[in-house]
Amino acid sequence: MRAAASFLWGTATAGHQVEGSNVAADIWLLEQVRETRFAVPSGDACDSLNRWQEDIAIVKALGLNAYRFSVEWSRIEPARGQFSRAWLDHYARVAAACCDAGLAPVVTLSHFTSPRWFAAAGGWSDAEAPSRFAHFADMVGRRLAGLARHVVTFNEPNLPLMGRWAPTPLADPVREGLDAMLAAAARTTGSERFDVWVYSRGDDADLERLLAGHRNARAAWKANDPAALVGLSLALPDAQGDDNAIAAYRRHAEDPFLAAAREDDFIGVQTYGRLRFGRDAVLSPPAGAELTQSGDEFYPQALGASVRHAHARTGRPVFVTENGIAAADDAQRCRYLPAAIDALDAARKEGVPVLGYIHWSLLDNFEWRRGYAQHFGLVAVDRGNFRRTPKPSARLYADLVRARS
């Protein structure tokens, strides 16, 4: 299927995962405490603080027309109310360089990380959190107005809620480990509650404040650039199986966000596969199913179902802001990409409005608690010298885009 001239084909990174030395961030502290659940610290990541121009050049060389990146709140506002003009200028240079390279900058305001001071104040449990986030969005919007016309407020804010649907949840050692890590960070900062949303319990009151933060940030950005398109991006696997379980899952993990998205310019869809539901639990992949490096089922066709679902529930255009797999062998990604894009093509032919497709990720990067062990990138990064080497999947993606442009 040939794409409209305005259709965005791109790839993505996130600040904490590629920039390096994000020392004022909440998650940097979680990596350091004795009770950490991170395999390794992020450290220098992919050194994109110093190599961002090279990253943009790679995206351009692939013939893409969009690059998604995040602005790090902890760099821009390292202490409450103290904004760094230097870092605002840095991200403006990144956005301008994208424009000069013929790439639409797709800017994410919050890709899991927040400033350490924000987490130490209780994160989204603090009544002032929505206004603080809106102030940050306003400062970034003032500097990037006219440069970045596609803005994602939050990346996958529904993740903490994806496990709340089960009627008889069991004791979760992973949850206990996360609680111990957050408690250690609270002790380190001398705070009553150190809260990092992606690792939190997703309390209802905190969720309401986060959604208020989304609405306030959208309004703040549009006050600076009314023509900008603003939305949030959700983790939306293709849900299959027991209807009652799926309904319960969506009531917790999707419905509050999809309701909010009805007021947005787009709904961001991030799909990596399917979830199979039994009555009381998510089922393991079928016996004999092909698995990815992360242990998930290889199921690229999930993207089509997720895109249809998101549009049907919101009435908004869809923007695929992440899609991909962790692959030990790049040949698996080379089979995944055309199948996923074919599934997207089919949904578009049915009339689902889609703004673009952003592949996760540009680089093999820091994958949060899993460290550097899993490889989502189109481009390999040498951990010793940060040399970038495009993989065969990068060339394949370029060919797939060229055939549709």
Nearest to 201 by CA among 232, 234, 175: 175
Asked if 18 and 365 count as a contact pair (C-beta separation under 8 A), the reply is: yes
Pick the CATH number of 8-404 from 3.20.20.80, 3.90.580.10, 3.40.50.300, 3.40.190.10: 3.20.20.80
What's the pLDDT at 173? 81
Asked if 129 and 217 count as a contact pair (C-beta separation under 8 A), the reply is: no
Query: Going by C-beta distance under 8 Å and a sequence separation of 6 or more, which residues neighbour residue 164?
Result: 202, 252, 253
What's the pLDDT at 164? 84
Rounded Cα distance between 303 and 340, Å, is 6
Question: What element of type H or E holds 50?
Answer: helix 48-61
Rounded Cα distance between 343 and 350, Å, is 11
Rounded Cα distance between 358 and 254, Å, is 21
Cα dihedral across residues 80, 217, 344, 95: positive or negative: negative
Query: Going by C-beta distance under 8 Å and a sequence separation of 6 or more, which residues neighbour residue 61?
Result: none
Enumerate the domain spans of the chain. 8-404
Burial-class residue 4 by CB neighbours within 10 Å (0-12, 13-18, 19+): exposed
Please give the model's pTM, rounded to 2 decimal places.
0.97
pLDDT per residue rounded down to tens, the chain (405 residues): 665 559 999 999 999 999 999 999 999 999 999 999 999 999 999 999 999 999 999 999 999 999 999 999 999 999 999 999 999 999 999 999 999 999 999 999 999 999 999 999 999 999 999 999 999 999 999 999 999 999 999 999 999 999 887 754 544 788 899 999 999 999 999 999 999 999 999 999 999 999 999 999 999 999 999 999 999 999 999 999 999 999 999 999 999 999 999 999 999 999 999 999 999 889 999 999 999 999 999 999 999 999 999 999 999 999 999 999 999 999 999 999 999 999 999 999 999 999 999 999 999 999 999 999 999 999 999 999 999 999 999 999 999 999 998
What's the pLDDT at 382? 98
Q: In whole angstroms, what separates CA 283 from the centre of its chain?
A: 25
What's the pLDDT at 178? 96
- Output the CA–CA distances (angstroms, integers) from residue 372 to 62, 72, 375, in the order listed: 24, 20, 7
